[in-house]
Amino acid sequence: MARLNMSEAAPEPYLAFRQADGAIRKGPLAEKVRELVKLRVSQVNGCVYCVDKHAAEARRSGETEDRLTHLPVWRESELFDERERAALAYAEAVTTQRHVDDELWDEARKQFPDKAELGHLVAQVALINALNMLGVPLRMKPPRH
């Protein structure tokens, strides 16, 4: 059981997170890219609730078990395309370093030339990091556990 139920304790901020998630889902960023980013950031941050949730959502979006298995080692795997690699590199840099160098940013812009799509990637990475910062300290557990 989680330490605190955010939907009860702070319903307005909780609703704002849900609304932001809905806005990102409606945007131009491909569902598979969104789900890979959410899962990878959650793995890096150690959020068991989010890993469980986003692995299930990735499967529902058509993601393969091979790619999910390779996600922690995506840099060494041939299963991810250049757009996915750029999104994952950006997500990991923001999550682990809080810094994105010019080379990495230029690659993200190259792979996501549409500003709206790139903006939704940036928003997705920021949002999942924020959600992980709820899930980890509150010790949120997957519903089936």
Q: What is the pLDDT of residues 65-85, one digit of tens each?
A: 999 999 999 999 999 999 999
pLDDT tier for residue 145 given thresholds of 50, 70 and 90: low
| Residue at 20 is within a domain | yes
Residue 50: count of CB within 10 angstroms of its CB: 23
| Residue at 141 is within a domain | no
Could you give the angle at the alpha carbon of 48 between the alpha carbons of 51 and 69, nearest 5°?
Answer: 40
| Domain range for 122 | 6-135
| Residue at 29 is within a domain | yes
Q: For position 111, which CATH number holds? A: 1.20.1290.10
Q: How far is CA 46 from CA 40, 42, 98, in A?
A: 10, 6, 17
Residue carrying structure tokens 């529902």 = 60
Q: Is residue 139 within 8 Å of 36, Cβ to Cβ?
A: no
| Residue at 72 is within a domain | yes
What pLDDT is recorded for position 65?
98
| Residue at 44 is within a domain | yes
Q: Per the confidence metrics, is the pTM higher than 0.75?
A: yes
**For the chain, what is the mean pLDDT?**
96
| Residue at 143 is within a domain | no
pLDDT tens digits, one per residue of 102-123: 999 999 999 999 999 999 999 9
Answer whether residue 144 shows pLDDT above 80: no
What pLDDT is recorded for position 74?
98
Q: How far is CA 124 from CA 14, 46, 78, 94, 145, in A?
A: 16, 17, 24, 11, 27
Alpha carbon 29 to its chain centroid, in Å, reads: 12
pLDDT tens digits, one per residue of 19-73: 999 999 999 999 999 999 999 999 999 999 999 999 999 999 999 999 999 999 9
The tally of domains found in the chain comes to: 1
Between CA 59 and CA 134 the distance in angstroms is 24
